[in-house]
Amino acid sequence: MKMLNNSSVLITGGTGSFGKKFIEMIFKKYNPRRVIIYSRDEYKQYHVKNLFQKKLTEEQMSKLRFFIGDVRDKDRLYRAFKDVDYVIHAAAMKQVPACEYNPFEAIKTNIHGAQNIVDAALDRGVKKVVALSTDKAVNPINLYGGTKLVSDKLFISANAYSGQNGTVFSVVRYGNVAGSRGSVIPFFKELIERGETELPITDFRMTRFWITLEEGVELVFKALKESKGGETYISKIPSFKITDLAKAMLPGCKMKEVGIREGEKLHEVMITKDDSRMTYEYEKHYIIYPHFDWWSSGRHFTNGGKRVEDGFEYNSETNSEWLNVEDLRTALLRLNMMPFIEEHMKEIAASKE
């Protein structure tokens, strides 16, 4: 994707798991003019800078910039977006209980912040904006999901304001990324490292989609390359059972059902039945197109897609592709999440001798 060569790219909330992987991959695959990390925590920026001083060349580090700012601050966004070509919006309040307890703060960041991104991008002449969404925005049952649903709507509708040659806005959607802070993997890992032999499972029926950080970044690259305005991109990815993940991480473990937490879903849904009317299937992903007067198939449609059947739902429970225990163990090895388990199993075996 040559469009990212010699371009200026800004990522909000860029010190998180996604942001760090994005930095790594954009410098590995492309030659951007600048990559700007826009976030409000100077301590995290300090650690990210130190991390990449060991991974990037001196020339690449000279192109990596750190900009302190909050998406709530429109004036600061206007300053940061000067001469920026592409924006990836990853900043959000993401923790469900924190959003429930601090609803006004979640609205200020996830909704008002999204509106500020839209306004700054339009006024500063940004070429494309890709916003990160979540499965929780689909039929939301908690405030976090509700705010992200509104955020998605703002970015999609922003295309009506940009005009024919203005900023192109699109959305990418996925669930908990494997190994990220929001996934169950680090939680299980911590319990196992403490010597626990029983893992808590909220519900034995629970399923989730499996997507890696690399796959998440690749979906953003695809949106940057192909988007024409108003698309929601969803990767084709496998499902897994939470009980199988526990077995993969700690073979022979005991499992205790502890009950679903408030605001938690039994299964992840990425595409609803109602969305199926505007959903098209491609080789490795789906696109949900908007249903507005300003959208036209002639200008905005990406060729190569086939419309899904009416009533189609992309649900982790009814998905056609699955990872079993061995598949999950192999995937965890690729994420470097298994060596500690091998050592733990040796300790357990030694203690029984």
What does the buried/exposed string (b/e) look like for 152-188 if buried means 16 or more CB atoms within 10 Å of the residue's CB?
bebbbebbeebeeebbbbbbbbbbbbbbbebbbbeeb
The pLDDT tens digits of the residues spanning 23-57 come to 999 999 999 999 999 999 999 999 999 999 999 99
Query: Which of 8, 227, 27 is closest to 125 using CA atoms?
Result: 8
Listed in sequence order, the residues at least 6 apart from 242 whose beta carbon sits closer than 8 Å to its beta carbon are: 184, 201, 202, 203, 204, 206, 207, 208
Query: How high is the mean pLDDT of the chain?
Result: 91
| Domains of the chain with bracketed CATH | 2-175+210-236+269-318 (3.40.50.720)
Q: Return the closest-CA partner of residue 314 out of 162, 209, 220, 224.
A: 209
Task: For residue 343, count other CB atoms closer than 10 A to its CB.
Answer: 10
d(CA 206, CA 192): 21
Rounded distance, CA 350 to CA 308, Å?
A: 54
Looking up tokens 């900043």 gives 91
- Cβ neighbours of residue 194 under 8 Å, at least 6 residues apart? none
Report whether 131 contacts 171 (CB < 8 A): yes
Q: Nearest-5° angle of CA 319, CA 323, CA 326?
A: 165
Residue 136 known to be catalytic = yes
CA 173 – CA 19 distance, rounded (Å): 16
pLDDT value at position 68?
A: 97
Say which residue the tokens 């507005």 belong to.
Answer: 292
Tokens of 156: 């999609």
pLDDT-based confidence at residue 180 (cuts at 50, 70, 90): confident
Provide the whole-model pTM.
Answer: 0.92
Report the alpha-carbon distance of residue 33 to residue 22 in Å, rounded. 15
Average pLDDT score over residue span 312-324: 95
Distance separating the N- and C-terminal Cα atoms of the chain? 57
300 with 160: CB under 8 angstroms? no
Dihedrals phi, psi of 132, to nearest 5 degrees: -85, 130
Q: Please state, for a pLDDT cut of 90, what percent of the chain lies above it.
A: 76
Q: Is 71 left (phi over 0), alpha (psi -120 to 50) or beta?
A: alpha
Query: In the prediction, which pLDDT does 1 show?
Result: 63
Q: Produce one character per residue of 242-278: b if its CB has 16 or more CB atoms within 10 Å, e if not.
A: bbbbbbbbbeebeeeeeeeeebebebbbbbeeebbeb
Residues 8-24 have pLDDT tens digits of 999 999 999 999 999 99
Q: Which of 136, 236, 241, 265 is catalytic?
A: 136
Token representation of residue 324: 């079993």
Confidence of residue 194 (pLDDT cuts 50, 70, 90): confident
Say whether pLDDT at 333 is over 60. Answer: yes
Secondary structure element (H or E) that encloses residue 172, with its range: strand 168-174
- DSSP code at position 3: G
CA–CA–CA angle 98, 156, 298 (5° rounding): 160
Across the chain, which distance is largest between two alpha carbons, in Å?
73
pLDDT of 344 higher than 80:
no
**Residue 104, token pair as written in the block:** 């006004």
pLDDT, residue 177, reads: 85
CB 275 within 8 Å of CB 288: yes
Provide the pLDDT confidence category of residue 239 given band limits of 50, 70 and 90.
very high
Considering only 110-124, 130-144, 175-189, which range has the smallest mean pLDDT? 175-189
Whether 131 and 89 have beta carbons less than 8 Å apart is answered as yes
pLDDT over threshold 70, residue 339:
no
Instruction: Please tell me the least confidently modeled range out of 33-47, 221-235, 285-299.
Output: 285-299
Q: Per-residue pLDDT for 183 more than 90?
A: no
Q: Residue 326 corresponds to which tokens in the numbers above? A: 């061995």
